[in-house]
Structure 1
Amino acid sequence: MAPPPATDTTTPPASQPGTDAQAGTQTGTTTSTTPSAPPEAPLTDEQIVAVLDAANKKEIDEATLAQTKAKHKDVKAYARVIVQHHTQAKTKQAQLVKKLAITAAESDKSKQLTTETQQAVDQLKALQGADFDQQFVATMILDHQKTLDLLDKRILQDAKNADLKALIEKDLRPTIEKHLKDAEALAQKLGPAGTTGTGATGATGTQGGATGTQGGATATTGATGAGAQGGTTGGQRAAGAQSGNQAGQTGVTAGSPGGQGGVQPPAATPAAGAGAGTKGAGTTK
């Protein structure tokens, strides 16, 4: 008689709580969605007037400060234009608003612009000289970019009155766009922070070739030798500064008139600076 079939009594392995929890977390993560922010309510014509007033005032307050604190003449001139144009824009808008019998009404956007104006002016007041100029121009770029976005994405879409919309589209927007381009060009002229006036100290004895030319930093190790000066008088070229530095080091090490060879190089051409360094090195032999 055949034996009865064996019964499988093996207990299935218990699931690991950590693994299940992790799997559940991953599943929940992939299926959950972040609710999007509700769309902003359209601005009324009354609110648009208040927003434009706040935007004009922001530019005028910042540029008025720049007229007294700016160092660069082009920055001062740009600030004068900003004050003039935005004052004219406020006047035109006030005339239209009076004609249309529209009363300005505050909104979150106009209040935000008012707060940003005070913050920007306070920040600019703490700066001086070239730092002020660069920060002011950067602020102008940011302000006008944001204003253009606001006009294109909200105000021109929300405006109901045809005359108000025409004033914004045909008068205000082209002016804002021109201000932005002028500010960007001015930023290029000023250059990155900290570079204004670079090279003016190239006549100092210990850092002659270091400031004002790339590669001049190699001359600082031989600053006590006259060879560094020999490199810079040849036109402040990187090759001349390096050769003069080597000659100065050689002259200092030998303690002979070779160091003097780098002091008085011919100053006619950049190549003469390199030659002067070579001569200084030769006389130490």
Structure 2
Amino acid sequence: MNAPPPPAPTPAPLPQETTPAAPASQPSTDPQAGATQPGTTTTAPSAPVEAPLTDEQIVAVLDAANKKEIDEAQLAQTKAKHKDVKAYARVIAQHHTEAKAKQAKLIKKLGITAADSDKSKQLADETQQAVEQLKALQGADFDQQFVALMVKDHQTTLDLLDKRVLPNAKNADLKTMVEKELRPTIEKHLKDAEALAQKLASAGTAGTGATTGATGAGAQGGATGVGSGATGAGAQGSTTGAQRAAGAQSGNQAGQTGVTAGSPGGQGGVQPPAATPAAGAGAGTKGASPGTK
């Protein structure tokens, strides 16, 4: 007998594959992501810190601020239309001219020499631009723009005094002048400019209402003229006819003719006033004539 074949060898088990562990998440700094990924920290860029002004730079800044108001106000004295705007401009020019002269006297006494800074140069550039813009305007447009500029200028100057001039001024006399004299004047100018701006706005609204009212009154007058033309012609014809007993029927017909003829008189209410009576009277006379017969 043949021996049975030996059993096939059992294959050795294959080693199991191991999945590598996922790496720990890292903060994303990819600018293409468009959004901050978990784990990242962003810091908003801070505004650049302005260097403190020296007393010499403060003097130059104040001088430039005064000159800005003087140049704009002098232009307004010649171009402003509203009397209150002219009066305000005169006060501004006077006060800032006095402040400029007083400051010049003080710095001469203190021995301070003005030194330009980025801020004083900025004010000089803004003055030139503002004056050129104002020169291109006329009438009410000039008044509104000038007053709006006064509000902006004086608010900006107050912020400048509070944030950069008073905190940095070293000389006591200079600081006292700014705090006790210049700042209250600037604040008063600002309040006056705000009140004037409101007055101009109210005047503009009232003017629009008056124009609308006049237009409505004209339309009403025109309508009244139309009615009067027709009624006058018809009434005159009817009354004349009624006074003639023998020609009552003819008078009524004449009155009806008067009403019809009065229509042109009604249209005359829209035309110059002289046309209305003529049309009405003519129709009335025609209406009376048949009654006589």
TM-score (norm: length of structure 2): 0.63
Secondary structure class of the residue paired with 1:158: coil
The 8 Å contact of residues 130 and 196 in structure 1, kept in 2 or not, is answered as: no
Secondary structure class of the residue paired with 2:190: helix
Shift of 1:196: 6.6
Match of 1:184 in 2: 194
Superposition CA RMSD, Å: 4.1
In structure 2, which of residues 133, 144, 149 is the aligned counterpart of residue 134 of structure 1? 144
In structure 1, which of residues 122, 133, 140 is the aligned counterpart of residue 132 of structure 2? 122
Match of 2:180 in 1: 170
CA–CA separation in structure 2 for the residues paired with 1:153 and 1:228: 68
Q: Deviations over 1:150-174 (max 9, x none)?
A: 0001100000000000000000000
Match of 2:55 in 1: 45
Secondary structure class of the residue paired with 2:66: helix
| Bigger Cα Rg | 2
108 and 10 in structure 1: CA distance in 2 versus 1, 3 angstrom threshold: closer
Is 1:208 the counterpart of 2:216 in the alignment?
yes
In structure 2, which of residues 82, 91, 106 is the aligned counterpart of residue 96 of structure 1? 106
Q: Please, which runs of 5 or more residues in structure 2 have no aligned partner?
A: 1-12, 23-28, 228-261, 270-293
In structure 1, which of residues 196, 221, 226 is the aligned counterpart of residue 223 of structure 2? 226
CA–CA separation in structure 2 for the residues paired with 1:180 and 1:66: 17
Q: Please, which runs of 5 or more residues in structure 1 have no aligned partner?
A: 14-19, 211-218, 231-255, 264-285
CA–CA separation in structure 2 for the residues paired with 1:228 and 1:167: 71
Q: Give the AA of the match of 2:216.
A: G
Match of 1:62 in 2: 72
228 and 179 in structure 1: CA distance in 2 versus 1, 3 angstrom threshold: farther
The 8 Å contact of residues 209 and 228 in structure 1, kept in 2 or not, is answered as: no
The 8 Å contact of residues 55 and 113 in structure 1, kept in 2 or not, is answered as: yes
Q: Deviations over 1:12-34 (max 9, x none)?
A: 99xxxxxx977695328952324
The 8 Å contact of residues 50 and 104 in structure 1, kept in 2 or not, is answered as: yes
54 and 11 in structure 1: CA distance in 2 versus 1, 3 angstrom threshold: closer
Secondary structure class of the residue paired with 2:106: helix
TM-score (norm: length of structure 1): 0.65
CA–CA separation in structure 2 for the residues paired with 1:10 and 1:99: 86
Deviates more, 1:100-109 or 1:4-13: 4-13
Is 1:87 the counterpart of 2:97 in the alignment?
yes
State the identity %. 73
CA–CA separation in structure 2 for the residues paired with 1:47 and 1:79: 28
Is 1:159 the counterpart of 2:172 in the alignment?
no
Shift of 1:209: 5.6
48 and 6 in structure 1: CA distance in 2 versus 1, 3 angstrom threshold: same
CA–CA separation in structure 2 for the residues paired with 1:75 and 1:25: 53
Shift of 1:70: 0.4
Instruction: Count how many residue pairs are aligned between Structure 1 and Structure 2.
Output: 218
In structure 2, which of residues 137, 141, 159 is the aligned counterpart of residue 149 of structure 1? 159
Residue correspondence of structure 1 range 237-276 to structure 2 within 5 A: none
Q: Give the AA of the match of 1:226.
A: A
Match of 1:271 in 2: none
Q: Give the AA of the match of 1:108.
A: D
